[in-house]
Structure 1
Amino acid sequence: MDPTVMLPPKPDRRWTIAKQLGLDTAVVRFWGVDEWWEYDTLMRTKTRFADHGFSLDVVEDRPPMEKTVLGEEGRDEEIATVKTLIRNMGRLDIDTYCWVWTENPLGVIRTSDSLPGRGDSQRIGYDHEWMERAPDHEAAGITEEELWDNLQYFLDQVVPVAEEAGVNLALHPDDPPTSPVRGVPRIVKSVDDYRRLLDMYDSPRHGVTFCQGNFSAMEADIPETIREFGDRIHFVHFRDVEGGERNFVETWHDEGPTDMKAAIEAYRDTGFDGPIRPDHVPRMVGEEDREDAMAGYTDMGRLFAIGYIKGLLE
């Protein structure tokens, strides 16, 4: 397994911290970059990481896919962009594309970003009551079966391209893994959903981003589920939550309900040797030095998490 972190496409203090932590694998997200899926942008990003001693192994950003998910006019153009991304990743030996489905159109949702944690750290959480009070989204009314049909349409076009390009597709769960949210169903929210969607296209390239926090909120047995999905797991988000799908709080890596050591042992048992990164860490006291730091992506908590992961691996 390769411990890694999400990094921006150009060097900043996060790149320096990652090297000081002994990391040599990177996950990239292209905040604020237009048409980043084109070859030239991906190539320069790949070589920029290489020049600084990193192997770029995962793209964790997504071209627009809302029309694709909702089955609207224009979805073929969106799918063509995804195909362009995958082909260019293959040309550049970028192994894994982490994508989402019914997080479109709502995205990742949290209702709190400063829940008290140990030592006055601040944690993020979700309480479905606030979404029940919210107005319906404009996409409300679409059915679960329509979403499944649209997913099949997408997989039938995209998985063969991934097979040809040699790129792993790693589907991330809905976050939060509950349905509906503001009137919109979500269909990647349970272990059974994953069984169904993996059967929709039987290919070793069509697999899973195993986000432990989401699977924990699904009340899945984490080690058992890791072993079930086995070689279909291409990428890991190593985190934990307290609570269930409709009400949970992100935890420190060493104080959640999941047996993290047993999880690492399960990955080892399945032969997983891919990238594993911390996700959604608490904000620590005094951590105000980077204004663009999203809740869950502040730096000091990630230092703790990487050390924790490396310790478990060792």
Structure 2
Amino acid sequence: MINLDELPMRVAQGQMTSPNDDDLRFIKQTGCDDFQLNLVKSPETGDGFWALDYLKSLVAKADEHQMRLITIENVPFTFHDDILTNGPRREEQLKNMILTIGNMGKAGIPILGYHFMPTCVWRTSREEPGPRGALGTSFNFDRLDGIRDYSAMSMPDAFKTDRDIDDDEMWENYDWFMERILPVCEEAGVRLALHPDDPPTEHPLGGVARIFRNFENFKRAMD
């Protein structure tokens, strides 16, 4: 296992969905020894969790390039959608998340980045003009056609609901998960990294509150 306490603050690169040789070679040439994978659309090895052999294969690829797989950001949405929303498969998904985190620890991957957005990332434009002609993404709530206009949702297959889920209910779901998963993380030696809601709007998106939208709510989560 990588001992994060023995490493200085440093830059990592990534967001790839697999550790291919060309990307890792490029990252190494820029002076980085650490990289991150974003596996939100990764193959679902096992049955709703990441199998140990799969995770070990990712670490082995890092070792080939004398690099560290320092973080995996995101699990496939189907790994935890009912955890986020108190759905019928919540207990089953919790067991699988426990398996996934345990396998990450055994494989030597020290950080799992996660979010708590049932309706995921939203954008109203993917061609927003930026400096010197560059294009970027943006979000403008006023461009939505009502609170359940899902056209801006980046993952069309993500959670949709006809009822409202407010801050209190989202906090209940979050606290339920943290109470059960943090002891597992401590035992496995895996740290969790919480992604802010994207976008961090005060408005519910798709009828679902965005609780990680400000400093105060992040502090509440960390406390």
Fold-level similarity (TM above 0.5) = yes
Write the distance in 2 (CA, Å) between the matches of 1:157 and 1:97. Answer: 16
The two structures, once aligned, show a CA RMSD in angstroms of 1.8
Asked whether the equivalents of residues 132 and 181 of structure 1 are also in contact (C-alpha less than 8 Å), the reply is no
Give the Å deviation of 1:59: 0.9
Once superposed, which parts of structure 1, at least 4 consecutive aligned residues long, lie more than 6 Å away? none
TM-score normalized by the length of structure 1 = 0.59
Report how many residues are paired. Answer: 197
Give the Å deviation of 1:147: 1.3
Residue 209 of structure 2 corresponds to: 185
Give the Å deviation of 1:99: 0.4
Asked whether the equivalents of residues 165 and 208 of structure 2 are also in contact (C-alpha less than 8 Å), the reply is yes
Give the Å deviation of 1:132: 4.8
- Identity across matched positions, percent: 28
1:144 aligns with 2:167: yes
Give the Å deviation of 1:139: 5.3
Query: Aligned partner of 2:178: which letter?
Result: L
Residue correspondence of structure 1 range 155-166 to structure 2 within 5 A: 155-166=178-189
Asked whether the equivalents of residues 132 and 182 of structure 1 are also in contact (C-alpha less than 8 Å), the reply is no
Asked whether the equivalents of residues 212 and 218 of structure 2 are also in contact (C-alpha less than 8 Å), the reply is yes
Write the distance in 2 (CA, Å) between the matches of 1:131 and 1:158. Answer: 36
Write the distance in 1 (CA, Å) between the matches of 2:209 and 2:145. Answer: 13
Query: Aligned partner of 1:26: which letter?
Result: F
Residues 139 and 55 of structure 1: is their aligned pair in 2 closer, same or farther, counting only changes over 3 Å? farther
Give the Å deviation of 1:27: 0.5
Give the Å deviation of 1:55: 0.4
State the SS of the aligned residue for 1:114.
strand
Q: Unaligned 5+ residue runs, structure 2?
A: 1-8, 150-159
Q: List per-residue Cα deviations over 1:175-195 (Å, max 9, x = no partner).
A: 111131122111111111112
Question: Please, which of 45, 62, 87 is the counterpart of residue 72 of structure 1?
Answer: 87
Residues 132 and 188 of structure 1: is their aligned pair in 2 closer, same or farther, counting only changes over 3 Å? farther
Write the distance in 2 (CA, Å) between the matches of 1:139 and 1:154. Answer: 24
Write the distance in 2 (CA, Å) between the matches of 1:62 and 1:108. Answer: 14
Residue 255 of structure 1 corresponds to: none
